[in-house]
Structure 1
Amino acid sequence: MEGTEQGRHRLVAAQRIVVKVGSSSLTSAANGSIDAERIEQLVTALAEHRLAGQEIVLVSSGAIAAGLTPLTLARRPKDLATQQAAASVGQGLLMAHYTAAFARRQITVGQVLLTADDVIRRTHYANARRTLSRLLNLGVLPVVNENDTVATDEIRFGDNDRLAALVAHLVRADALVLLSDVDALYDGPPSRPGARRIEVVGGPADLEGVEIGSVGSNVGTGGMVTKVDAARIATVAGIPTLLTSAANAAEGLAGKDVGTWFEARGGRTASRLLWLRHAAEAEGRLVLDEGAVAAVVQRRMSLLPAGVVKVEGRFVAGAAVELVNPAGTAVARGLVNFDSGELPALLGRSTRDLAAELGPDYAREIVHRDDIVLLRTR
């Protein structure tokens, strides 16, 4: 495990950083409305690093919270339609705050609203990456949020922590910073006497026995568990992550010993594989026999027609599907090469026979090994 000081130096030296801030860090504790002073403090910390040459992408919650006061809502609504209405009113107000605050420091910002489809579908994913890259090349500081006005319960990220981790990978960030109203990860509830700050997390073993809260604030959706999950997504993809409070943003970005530092545990993952594992919604399922499960999971081989016993769902070629064992447990996820309507006639047959009968297009795998991510190792 690298030392705390050495690890945090990677944040100071980072060329491109994704910073996520939660609703509770931007709102007043009294009424849940947007707090202009808190935004100013955050912008001051980020602007210093942007003007020093670092590229910053800000993933900001707060649209729904910003819409509460104008709509005379006492608290975050529970029904989806009112949440969408609040987001519609609040998103413009939130961006007005950011635009004015950064403009006072001669920094231009651009709004990027994403839905889960933008990282689930490969063409959308490529478009989002291209837009963000161009904004950064033009010297713009992108402000990203989930498009709550159109997202539904079925197609949403659920929290901006996960979105931030995926955006960090999408823009090939050198580091991710997660800001909330809690200054670090502790080995138990921070309010408990004797709770100890966890300074560095080098891997899953460092979190064994740690109580991680799952309840977010009154104006947000995430809790500490979503932040730890986001850090896991980022670090496995080679992106170190700092978790701390918005009040500690300046110190954290300066490499000071605040918050919890999650060390990167892997190399850069191919974009489509991270997309497939963490963002893709499976459109169908392929039930494999035991031999195919062993081939895919243990020997890392492609999935051939002979090993598939059943097709579930409707999908087109290129869709993400789950590969499940005979008991129905998902063992992997992959991008299928055939439409669901074509597959029943292929199941249980060798590619040689299929090619002889139907032509060379049917000599290919149902799912190529390069388009498979494992969900289980056995």
Structure 2
Amino acid sequence: MVFEQVTRHRDAVIASAESRGKNKRSPIVERTDMPRAQRVVVKVGSSSLTSIQNSLDELAIATIIDVLAKVKQRNPHIELLFVSSGAIAAGLAPLGLSRRPKDLATQQAAASVGQSLLMTRYTETFARYGVKVSQVLLTAQDLMARDRYHNAHRQLERLLDLGVMPIINENDAVATSEVRFGDNDRIAALVAHAVKADALILLSDVDALYTKHPDQGGLRMSEVRSSEDLEGLSIGSVVRAGVGSGGMVTKVKAAQIAASSGIPALVTSAANARAAFNGEDVGTWFHTTGRRKSVYGLWLEHLADIEGTITVDAGAAAALRRRRSLLAAGITEVTGDFEGGSAVGIKGPDGVEIAHGLSSYSSDETSQMIGKHSDEIEEIMGENYDGTVVHADDIVILEESVES
């Protein structure tokens, strides 16, 4: 199982690798700090790189490259990581497809064709500015398995040390439906976490997050300081249909992933890219809401396959928030079919999910323990059952979810 590959030992190994001279940068707090950022992850969506005919938009590509290249020319010490969507979209026209395919096999075929076309354009155009680039293709497994995560982190760090700009995309040509990220917004947030970026910039054809659709009089949200600022928003109303797999919902969630791990994020349009690096008041700025998490915690919060739900009473919910283990005595309900070691969602008495954790027992075993104390459990089920359903080390407390 995936969780077996994700251990605390990995965090110790990676932390050691990351600590070599990478912690001396002053944090980026406000958007006005952006001109002094030294490591930035920039993600550009398919809608900003392809034309209405589902082919590469040469002008759009040239424009974003011009911005990134001139940022590097202005600040030779800045390190940029470019997460680029568009591989599937770029492969549609050469394959004679009029729209994004729904089946995985055809998506993989389009990505295989489109990725080479996209990288050819990037390599040739960046070269005119004297910028060296490389292709880095990642799957979800690369950020979940210990050895793969370490290798991906080491590769990205080495490329940056050599003055190369990594151009990153999900490896759609080989990823299976079970382990796909599903959108490059989230992969950008996870890459930002992996390389300890100063900031994450998410670019698309939408210039900001709005209180409601701009055509309906919605106002731009200049900043988001907490999940409370997003309450009541119909984020899905500003999603635009097109060749991409994301939308405003995925960008908000990606920005929250970064912000919850101590990395500020900016959501804006590709047309505002230059202004974003200049620290101008464009887009929506997501302030950090937490400190950097362990890789294990990030996986458990955002990547783990949640196989069931455990509902707890008010006392257990309060204990969880104090980073205590979940005991059977505080459980009121168990739903889903899961085995011991599976990732589960934990809900409070109001039905709101407050945590993810790895259950020590199966759903059947946990159901038999509901509301019971350790001595009762041992008497009924045997001495191997102590009533600690989810250990504190295997629990991550969630930010409030965004209504979509």
Cα deviation for residue 314 of structure 1 reads 6.4
What residue number does 1:247 align with?
271
2:351 and 2:147 mapped to 1: Cα distance?
30
Q: Does 1:47 align with 2:69?
A: yes
Instruction: Give how far 1:136 is off.
Output: 1.6
Computed over aligned residues only, the root mean square deviation of the Cα atoms, in angstroms, reads: 3.5
Q: Is the 8 A contact 1:304 1:367 kept in 2?
A: yes
Count, aligned residues: 364
Tell me which of 175, 178, 183 is aligned to 1:151.
175
Aligned AA (2:64)? L
Looking at structure 2, the residues matched to 334 and 97 of structure 1 have their Cα atoms a distance apart, in angstroms, of 44
The 5 Å alignment of 1:170-319 reads 170-192=194-216, 194-212=217-235, 213=237, 215-282=239-306, 284-285=307-308, 293-294=316-317, 296-303=319-326
Shift of 1:277: 0.5
* 1:17 has 2:40 as partner: yes
35, 55, 70: which one pairs with 2:57?
A: 35
Q: Is the 8 A contact 1:157 1:163 kept in 2?
A: yes
Is 1:216–1:222's contact at 8 Å kept on the other side of the alignment?
A: no
- List per-residue Cα deviations over 1:19-57 (Å, max 9, x = no partner): 01000100113x120112211111111112234221111
1:101-180, aligned counterparts within 5 Å? 101-180=125-204
Q: Which residue of 92, 97, 100 maps to 2:116? A: 92
| Residue 80 of structure 1, CA deviation | 2.0
Alignment CA distance shift 1:366-1:139 (3 Å): farther
TM-aligned CA deviation for residue 374 of structure 1: 2.6
- What is the Cα deviation at residue 9 of structure 1? 2.3
Q: Percent identity?
A: 52
Cross-structure match for 1:373: 396
In structure 2, relative to structure 1, the CA distance for the partners of 1:117 and 1:214 (3 Å cut) is: farther
| Matched-pair contact (CA < 8 Å) for 1:120–1:281 | no
Q: In 1, are the aligned partners of 2:312 and 2:346 still within 8 Å (CA)? A: no
- Distance across 2 between alignment mates of 1:370 and 1:124: 23
What TM-score does the superposition give when structure 1 sets the normalisation length? Answer: 0.82
TM-score where L is the length of structure 2: 0.77
**Counterpart of 2:219 in structure 1: which amino acid?**
R
Aligned partners of 1:291 and 1:189: how far apart in 2?
A: 38
Amino acid at match of 2:279: G
Q: Could you tell me how far apart the structure 2 residues matched to 1:123 and 1:312 are?
A: 31
User: Cα–Cα, structure 1 residues 74 and 335, in superposed 2: closer, same or farther, change >3 Å?
Assistant: same
Q: C-alpha distance in 2, partners of 1:324/1:202?
A: 24
Whole-angstrom distance in 1 between the partners of 2:46 and 2:97: 16
2:137/2:169 contact within 8 Å kept:
yes
Question: SS at 2:208's partner residue?
Answer: coil
User: How far apart are the structure 2 equivalents of 1:87 and 1:222?
Assistant: 16
Shift of 1:339: 8.5
Q: Distance in 2 between matches of 1:185 and 1:167?
A: 22
Name the CA distance, whole Å, in 2 between partners of 1:291 and 1:211: 29
Runs of at least 5 residues in structure 1 that lack an aligned partner in the other structure: none
In 1, are the aligned partners of 2:259 and 2:287 still within 8 Å (CA)?
A: yes
* Structure 2 residue 352 is the aligned partner of structure 1 residue 332: no
